[in-house]
Amino acid sequence: MLVVVALGGNALLRPGDPRTVDRQRANVRVAAGALAPVLRDHDVVLTHGNGPQVGELARVAAAAGESAPPLDVLDAETEGLVGYLLAQELRNAVPERELVTLLTQVVVDAADPAFARPDKPIGAWYDESAARAVAHDYGWTMTENAGRWRRVVPSPLPQSIVELRAVRTVLAAGIVPIAVGGGGIPVVVAPDGRTRGVDAVVDKDRTAALLAQELGADRLALLTDVDGVYLGWGTGEAQRIALAHPDALAAHGFAAGSMGPKVEAAVAFARGGGTAVIGALDDAARVVTGATGTGDSAGTTVTTAAPGITIVR
**Which of 120, 182, 184, 228 is labelled catalytic?**
120
**Which of 204, 228, 279, 299 is labelled catalytic?**
204
Is 92 part of the annotated catalytic residue set?
A: no
Is 9 part of the annotated catalytic residue set?
A: yes
**Which of 9, 181, 274, 299 is labelled catalytic?**
9
Position 295 scores a pLDDT of 46
Is 10 part of the annotated catalytic residue set?
A: yes
Q: Which residues of the chain have pLDDT under 70?
A: 10-11, 65-66, 257, 290-297, 313
**Which of 8, 10, 27, 279 is labelled catalytic?**
10
Is 204 part of the annotated catalytic residue set?
A: yes
Position 6 scores a pLDDT of 95
Q: How do residues 133-179 score in pLDDT, each as one tens digit?
A: 888 888 889 998 878 898 898 999 999 999 999 999 999 999 999 99
Is 260 part of the annotated catalytic residue set?
A: no
Position 293 scores a pLDDT of 47
Position 84 scores a pLDDT of 95
Position 290 scores a pLDDT of 56
Q: How do residues 236-270 score in pLDDT, each as one tens digit?
A: 778 899 999 999 999 988 877 678 889 999 999 99
Q: Is the distance from CB of 171 to CB of 215 less than 8 angstroms?
A: yes
**Which of 262, 274, 279, 299 is labelled catalytic?**
262
